[in-house]
Structure 1
Amino acid sequence: MGAVSRRETAPTAETVDTATGPARITWLPARRPRLVLAVSHGAGGGIEARDLQALAAALPARGVTVALVEQPWRVAGKKVAPAPKTLDTGWRDLWPALTAPGLPVVAGGRSAGARVACRTAAELGAHAVLALSFPLHPPGRPEKSRKDELLGAGVPTLVVQGGHDPFGRPAEFPPGEYEIAEVPYGDHGFAVPKKSGLTEDRAMELLTTAVTDWLDRLP
């Protein structure tokens, strides 16, 4: 096999204008891509999140181009995310850029980004949804369930959830037409305590394996 050129594998950044301000997509291309996984961050962080970076490192070698999406509020340097409707508007407006390569697009994100992907998947024609650390409810408030967003995605969906996520442990999730994979002992950011015996590297390996296996099974 010949050497892969830097241009084929180096990340590239693209700015996309939306009604709520400029968004940014960082592309990590596969050499022979079969689909695009577009994942956005949560309300309390950016694309540097450990799970997003683990997927960006692992998936291009498996034929999946990864698009790390930064919502306009994050690009603008703001510290507080706007209302869900505003997040949905930004995602809708940047969607054409995600479909530009002409490949099926799996919509995804972590936490608030997962909610956006679920709420908009059907209308945008997403191939599937990857929900990382889906915030099923606010911590300590299980009666404030967001299950309708998850159950209403309308496309094949994988939830990857930390075993100790205060926003919803795997056992709390309702029955539905989606799959769920657990990262044992993981919190909302998939951090694992040292006493668990599970290293962060191993936790991310479990996460990327679950995602890769699911992507491989998508029609």
Structure 2
Amino acid sequence: MPEGHGGTLLMLGHGAGGDVDAPDLQAVRAAVLARGVAVALVTQPYRVAGRRAPAPAPQLDAAWLAVVARLRKVLGFTVLVVGGRSSGARVACRTARDAGAARILALAFPLHPPGKPDRSRAGELLTGLPTLVLNGAKDAFGIPSEGPDVQVRVLPGETHALSKDPAAVAAAAVDFVASPA
């Protein structure tokens, strides 16, 4: 692990059309680094190749798990927290168990495609792992409900972008990510 980090690694993935420079991802990164947590911002291979459209879910998940395996080997962290924004949050949820994650941070989890609430993705949140979902109150992709292991925080005035107040996003996430348990 990088010097000064207590053995916890936060892996964050980006949204479908975005990159790891999204304001919410950068704010969370800075806040958890300040609390002694190492951070890996993961760019999916389709974005590295210059494409905007995401690969199919099995390819996204396989690429994510390959990065987990490599980081585990190189860094030797003891606690893994996985997460991301939008599509990245979905990847983190789908792979969390196989990755050996302790918990999940889901930023702007896209509950359903805009205007299509009948196509819910709520099942992806049901991992059995502690999960914190941070969504904007005006998110066109919907807002998940709380569940047995799923805590949902709705941020007033925010949309799916979570870009109005990135510091508030980070403040809502940092204790969950940096928790020793």
Q: Fold conserved (TM > 0.5)? A: yes
Name the amino acid aligned to 1:148.
Answer: G
Post-superposition Cα deviations, 1:182-216, rounded to whole Å, max 9, x if no partner, equal 2211111113xxxxxxxx3xx22221111112124
Structure 1 residue runs of 5 or longer lacking an equivalent are 1-26, 192-199
In structure 2, what is the equivalent of residue 4 of structure 1? none
Name the amino acid aligned to 2:134.
Answer: V
Question: Hey, what's the Cα distance between the residues in 2 that align with 1:148 and 1:32?
Answer: 33
Which residues of 2 match residues 141-156 of structure 1 at below 5 A? 141-151=116-126, 153-156=127-130
Equivalent residue for 1:185, pick from 146, 157, 160: 157
Flag as ranges the 4+ runs of structure 1 deviating above 6 A.
Answer: none
Contact preservation (8 Å) 2:146, 2:152:
no
Equivalent residue for 2:108, pick from 116, 133, 147: 133
* Relative contact order, higher structure (CA 8 A, sep 6+): 2
Q: How many residues align?
A: 179
In structure 2, what is the equivalent of residue 214 of structure 1? 176
Is 2:20 aligned against 1:58? no
In structure 2, what is the equivalent of residue 7 of structure 1? none
Contact preservation (8 Å) 1:133, 1:162:
yes
Structure 1 residue 154 displacement after superposition = 2.3
Structure 1 residue 174 displacement after superposition = 5.1
Which residues of 2 match residues 45-194 of structure 1 at below 5 A? 45-99=18-72, 100-103=74-77, 104-151=79-126, 153-169=127-143, 172-173=144-145, 175-191=147-163
Contact preservation (8 Å) 2:82, 2:105:
yes
Is 2:2 aligned against 1:40? no
Name the amino acid aligned to 1:74.
Answer: R
Structure 1 residue 71 displacement after superposition = 0.6
Look at both structures and tell me which one has the larger radius of gyration over its CA atoms: 1
Contact preservation (8 Å) 1:139, 1:166:
yes
**Cα RMSD over matched residues?**
1.8
Contact preservation (8 Å) 2:105, 2:177:
no
Query: TM-score, normalised on structure 2?
Result: 0.91
Question: Hey, what's the Cα distance between the residues in 2 that align with 1:36 and 1:216?
Answer: 9
